[in-house]
Chain A
Amino acid sequence: MDLRYTDAEEAFRAELRAWLAEVVPTLGPRPALTDWPARRAYDTSWQGMLYDAGYAGIDWPVEGGGRGASPVEQLVYLEELERAHAPYVGVNFVGLLHAGPTIAVEGTPEQRARFLPPILKGEQVWCQGFSEPDAGSDLAALRTRAVRDGDEYVVTGSKIWTSHAEVADLCELLVRTGEEGSRHSGITWLAMEMDRPGIEIRPLETIGRSTEFAELFLDGVRVPVGNRVGEENDGWRVTMVTLSFERGTAFVGELLQSMEELRRIRSLARRVGLWDDPEVRHRTGQLGAELDALWALTRRNVSQAARTGVPGLGGSVFKLAFSELRQRLATLGLELLGSAGLAWDELEATDGSGPIGNTRLLEQWIGSFSRTIAAGTSQIQRNIVAERILGLPKG
Chain B
Amino acid sequence: MDFELSDDERSLADGMRRLCEGRFPMERVRAGEGRRALDTEGWSALAEAGVFSLRLADEEGGADLGTAAAAVVFEELGRALVPGPLAATHAAAGLVKGAATGDRPVGLLRRTPPVPGDPRPVLVGDLGSLGALLVVADDGVELVEPDAVGGAPVEGGLDPLTPLWRLEAVPRGTPVGDGPVAEALWRDFLVVEAAFLVGMAAVTSEMAVGYAKVRRQFDRPIGSFQAVKHMCADMLVRAETARAAVHAAAVTVDQPDVGDAVRAAHGAALLAAQAAEANARACIQVHGGMGFTWEVPAHLYLKRAIVLWRALGPATRLADVVAERF
The chain A residues found within 8 Å of chain B, CB to CB, are: 1-6, 9, 72, 75, 259, 262-263, 266, 278, 281-286, 288-297, 299-300, 302-304, 306-307, 314, 317, 320-321, 379, 381-383, 385-387, 389-395
B229 pairs with A392, CB closer than 8 A: yes
CB within 8 Å for A6 and B271 given contacts A1-B9, A281-B320, A317-B237? no
A393 pairs with B230, CB closer than 8 A: no
Majority secondary structure of chain A interface residues (helix, strand, loop or mixed)? helix
Is B86 engaged at the interface, CB distance under 8 Å to the other chain?
A: no
B323 pairs with A392, CB closer than 8 A: no
Most chain B CB neighbours (cut-off 10 Å) among A278, A289, A294, A297? A289
Chain B residues closer than 8 Å to A299, beta-carbon distance: 1, 3, 244, 248
A289 pairs with B271, CB closer than 8 A: yes
B319 pairs with A392, CB closer than 8 A: no
CB within 8 Å for A390 and B271 given contacts A293-B244, A314-B240? no
Q: Mark B76-96, 1 if CB is under 8 A from A, else 0.
A: 000000000000000000000
Majority secondary structure of chain B interface residues (helix, strand, loop or mixed)? helix
B1 pairs with A395, CB closer than 8 A: no
**Docked complex Cα distance between A24 and B177 (Å):** 49
Is B195 engaged at the interface, CB distance under 8 Å to the other chain?
A: no
Minimum distance in angstroms from B49 CB to a CB of chain A = 21
Is B68 engaged at the interface, CB distance under 8 Å to the other chain?
A: yes
B1 pairs with A303, CB closer than 8 A: yes
Is B236 engaged at the interface, CB distance under 8 Å to the other chain?
A: yes
The 6 A-B residue pairs with the shortest CB-CB distance in the complex, in nearest-first order: A285-B319, A289-B267, A285-B323, A296-B248, A293-B245, A296-B244
CB within 8 Å for A289 and B4 given contacts A2-B255, A395-B229? no
B244 pairs with A288, CB closer than 8 A: no
Minimum distance in angstroms from B36 CB to a CB of chain A = 36
**Docked complex Cα distance between A3 and B319 (Å):** 24
CB within 8 Å for A284 and B4 given contacts A1-B68, A395-B226? no
A6 pairs with B1, CB closer than 8 A: yes
Minimum CB distance partner of A381 in chain B: B233
**Of the 9-residue stretches B141-149, B257-265, B299-307, which lies at the interface with chain A?**
B257-265
Chain A residues closer than 8 Å to B241, beta-carbon distance: 290, 293-294, 297, 317, 321
Is B187 engaged at the interface, CB distance under 8 Å to the other chain?
A: no
Q: Mark B117-142, 1 if CB is under 8 A from A, else 0.
A: 00000000000000000000000000
Which listed residue, B4, B236, B250, touches A385 by the CB 8 Å rule? B236
Minimum CB distance partner of B323 in chain A: A285
Chain A residues closer than 8 Å to B226, beta-carbon distance: 379, 382-383, 395
Chain A residues closer than 8 Å to B224, beta-carbon distance: 392-395
